[in-house]
């Protein structure tokens, strides 16, 4: 990590680029078969979208003087208004969220099973309409920020251009490669840290992960694609870190699982938050693991993100 962490000015701001959704959550004992009607147990809505979740995780796990900028797109509907309202309450800077006329905001139907596992069916809506305005926002914010946190829910050409701009301004770039997509050539050359889960790691490497040895081989392969620092998240088994300074397993923190829907987002936001203070990658992965564990112990997406005090408490 020395190769690029030393270049970063710490305690600067974080930019999060990506999608905002309103999550429509259904708790049920099982997923219905095709053509079957099966009654669920409960339903509720809450703010979501990977970028929104990660931005809230980053702000809640940071010191109070940190600025988190969110670059995204919403529709001019009730869901869009609710998303902006909640993010503003969380102290996220929403000045770079564009409202698209006559377009629906993104939504995600989330089916939550009794064991805490989930499946997600998103309809991205306004998240699919990014333009030069978002690129200009990246150019502006890169001057005062140290980290760009991105995912793959919005058009990849926008993410690709943003990664290039971030690297040209000595920002650390973190990519959550979700959902799985075929990326442009040289895309990963502009990624410092990539954080796939087991399914995404298998997509990238072709290696099914059933053991830590599989995780090690998968991380080595993914690193050969461009990102020198690979973190494969392994649910309750923790994570596998492949970096310039450390290769090995980092354990998770044991909690009672309520819903795992935003665990990866809690991890990524907290990872960016910790790195922005100058912490090492190993320390930051442990910090992020604690945040992810806390998030699965409660319902919701953005609402499940733990604060700095809670994370420090579980770490101690």
What are 245-269's pLDDT values in tens digits?
999 999 988 877 766 678 899 999 9
Q: Choose, from 77, 176, 214, 265, the residue flagged as catalytic.
A: 265
Q: Is 137 helix (H, G, I), strand (E, B) or coil?
A: helix
CA–CA distance, 72 with 129 (Å, rounded to integer): 10
Domains and CATH numbers, the chain: 2-19+51-98+128-315 (3.40.1190.20)
Residue tagged 């665990």 (tokens): 263
Q: Could you confirm whether 307 is annotated as catalytic?
A: no
What are 54-108's pLDDT values in tens digits?
999 999 999 877 899 999 999 999 999 999 999 999 999 999 999 999 999 999 8
pTM of the model: 0.90
Radius of gyration of the chain (CA): 18
């Amino acid at each position: 990590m020395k190769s690029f962490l030393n270049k970063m000015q710490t305690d600067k701001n974080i930019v999060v680029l990506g999608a905002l959704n309103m999550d429509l959550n259904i708790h049920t004992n099982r997923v219905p078969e095709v053509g079957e009607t099966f009654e669920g147990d409960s339903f509720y809505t809450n703010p979501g979208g990977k970028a929104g979740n990660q931005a809230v995780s980053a702000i809640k796990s940071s010191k109070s003087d940190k600025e988190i900028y969110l670059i995204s797109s919403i529709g001019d509907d009730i869901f869009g208004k609710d998303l902006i309202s909640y993010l503003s309450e969380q102290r996220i800077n929403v000045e770079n969220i564009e409202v698209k006329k006559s377009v629906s905001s993104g939504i995600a139907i989330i089916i939550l099973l009794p064991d805490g596992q989930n499946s997600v069916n998103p309809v991205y809506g306004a998240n699919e309409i990014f333009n030069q305005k978002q690129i200009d926002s990246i150019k502006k914010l890169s001057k005062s920020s140290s980290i760009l946190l991105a995912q793959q829910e919005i058009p990849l050409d926008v993410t690709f251009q943003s990664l290039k701009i971030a690297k040209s301004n000595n920002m650390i770039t973190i990519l959550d490669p979700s959902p799985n997509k075929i990326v442009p050539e040289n895309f990963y050359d502009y990624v410092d840290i990539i954080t796939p889960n087991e399914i995404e790691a298998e997509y990238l490497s072709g290696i099914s992960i059933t053991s830590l040895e599989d995780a090690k081989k998968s991380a080595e392969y993914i690193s050969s694609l461009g990102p020198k620092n690979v973190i494969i998240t392994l649910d309750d088994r923790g994570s596998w870190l492949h970096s310039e300074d450390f290769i090995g397993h980092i354990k998770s923190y044991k909690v009672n699982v309520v819903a795992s829907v935003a665990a990866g987002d809690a991890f990524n936001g907290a990872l960016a938050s910790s790195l922005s203070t100058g912490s090492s990658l190993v320390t930051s992965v442990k910090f992020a693991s604690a945040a992810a564990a806390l998030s699965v112990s409660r319902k919701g997406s953005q609402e499940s993100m733990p604060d700095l005090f809670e994370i420090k408490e579980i770490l101690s």
